[in-house]
Structure 1
Amino acid sequence: MSLDEPAVIRAGPRPTMVSMEPHETPLFELAAPARDATPFPFANGLCQAVDKGFVAADWAEALAPVEGQLVALAHILEARRAAGERILPEPGNILRAFSRPLAMARVLVMGQDPYPTPGHSMGLSFAALPAVHPLPRSLKNIYTELHEDTGVKTPGHGDLSAWADQGVVLLNRVPTVGSGDAGSHRKLGWEAVTDAAMGALAARGGPIVAILWGKDAQSLAPALEPIPIISSAHPSPLSARRGFFGSKPFSRANALLLASGGAPIDWTLPAVAQRS
């Protein structure tokens, strides 16, 4: 995720917050649709999620040890939704980081949790749904560094699906959040799931590179050994000038991939967003 400040919408009881890096204030938010009653696609286990195309088969195999945790999380989320909390992103996007095969993973980009503004998150860390304008400021800073680092012309949308299609795993440490309440789903149990995902990537081995922006992401480095790691300040507006700008994560990732016998990522993004 980018660490954008939540909108003021709140629903349901607010859990105790943990410390986070500074957030941004959204300039506006999209009109909120009616509350979603779509079932969570992992509520009945990973086989159903694979059958419906939400999770790749090899990721389901890797996440099998935490399948019970995923089912329990679905029940927790359903209870919170029934109590009036709006869960973001929409159910079909929650596990989107696992929709491409584990076997094709080449770069891991760890975020914290999704944008807490309705209509923004698409289930990929730092990415935003194509209709979101203006772009979240952390994402704008990522695009600025992308252009300075690689010369890639950056688009006016925030859909990073083209990266995911090349094996860039855009994973949030906590894949859900309550509307308007950043960090509200930490400690619900998602950490066990993303721990399993990181362990699967580390066990699979290279060529793969991890990009860790900010202290929260960098704290995960031990779980990713022996994956090569690129770390810097977070692209948030309050920290980007303290080490993110000029860090060249995109060209460095490609250099590491090439050095380990892998193919580089084409960081180019289409001018028009893909259909989500």
Structure 2
Amino acid sequence: MIPGPGPEGAGRPSWADLGFFRDADQEGLTAWERLHARLGAATAPWQPEPGHIFRALTLTPRHQVRVVVLGQDPYHTPGRAQGLAFSFPKGEAPRDSLKNILTELGSDLGALKMDGDLSAWAKQGVLLLNTALTVPLGEAFGHKTWGWAGLVSQILAATATDGPRAFLLWGAPAQKLCAKLPREGHLFHASAHPSPLSAYRGFFGSRPFSAVNDWLAAQGQSAIDWAA
């Protein structure tokens, strides 16, 4: 289940190199082994399905990251969590925060994306990372204190040191998590969260998608096809 180096990734930094997966404690267990055991012993059902826990890391190998989008925890509505922040199941019409994200996309770039499946973004180097990777059904933030924070902090530190990256920080929690990352060479684009409760406080009109593509162009990189 641990995400490896990905296609053509041999010899390059991998998510599997992070201490969360490699460093053992005094009892010989890694942080992931402890968390995996806790998930296995949980009596309340949780999601996403085990094979999708690290889907964001699998679809976006470490050396291919170009953009980081931080969500909070997976959708707790049964069947909706896909292992990618904000993404809906393929063919399901977007609602709530994702609907607002795609509304802003249309306003920003004139791009029309009707499907809520964001896997095409992930395959282009957009790391769709939640700050907890699992959630009990019907209980938002139920696994927030289970140990995912250690992994997320390591991922953010790795992306900030591997090379120039664009960070889309939607809402105060995401901005706080990235507050201590080095700024030089990176793009940090901060705004209100796209939630229906806060989108009108500065997310709408923030133009994050054009900001990222303009920055990528300045780096000599191809644009993200946000309509994909």
- What TM-score, normalized to structure 1? 0.73
Q: Which residue of 2 aligns with 1:158?
A: 116
Q: Which residue of 2 aligns with 1:178?
A: 136
Q: Which residue of 2 aligns with 1:262?
A: 221
AA partner of residue 66 (structure 2): R
State the 4+ residue runs in structure 1 displaced beyond 6 angstroms.
none
Q: Which residue of 2 aligns with 1:60?
A: 15
Instruction: Check whether the contact 1:201–1:224 (CA below 8 A) recurs between aligned residues.
Output: no
Matched position secondary structure for 1:216: helix
Matched position secondary structure for 1:145: helix
Give 1:257 deviation, angstroms.
1.7
Q: Does 1:236 align with 2:195?
A: yes
Q: Which residue of 2 aligns with 1:94?
A: 53
Which protein has greater RCO, CA pairs closer than 8 Å, 6+ apart?
1
Q: CA, structure 1 residues 127+204, in 2 after alignment: closer, same or farther (shift >3 Å)?
A: same
Matched position secondary structure for 2:158: helix
Give 1:131 deviation, angstroms.
4.5
How far apart in 1 are the matches of 2:219 and 2:208? 17
AA partner of residue 97 (structure 1): A
Matched position secondary structure for 2:70: strand
Q: Which residue of 1 aligns with 2:173?
A: 216
Q: Which residue of 2 aligns with 1:109?
A: 69
How far apart in 2 are the matches of 1:246 and 1:190? 32
Give 1:151 deviation, angstroms.
0.8
How far apart in 2 are the matches of 1:217 and 1:104? 21
AA partner of residue 194 (structure 1): V
Query: Among the aligned pairs, what percent are the same residue?
Result: 44
Instruction: Check whether the contact 2:67–2:127 (CA below 8 A) recurs between aligned residues.
Output: yes
- What TM-score, normalized to structure 2? 0.88
Q: Which residue of 2 aligns with 1:136?
A: 95
Instruction: Check whether the contact 1:198–1:223 (CA below 8 A) recurs between aligned residues.
Output: no
Q: Does 1:118 align with 2:78?
A: yes
Give 1:258 deviation, angstroms.
1.9
Q: Does 1:201 align with 2:159?
A: yes
Give 1:154 deviation, angstroms.
1.6
Give 1:249 deviation, angstroms.
0.2
Give 1:262 deviation, angstroms.
2.6
How far apart in 2 are the matches of 1:50 and 1:255? 31
Matched position secondary structure for 1:236: coil
List gaps (5 residues or longer) in structure 1. 1-40, 270-276
Deviations 1:152-204 (A, max 9, x none): 1121x210011011000000011111100001111110000011111110110
Deviations 1:78-98 (A, max 9, x none): 111xx2x11111111110111
Q: Which residue of 2 aligns with 1:71?
A: 33
Q: Which residue of 2 aligns with 1:246?
A: 205
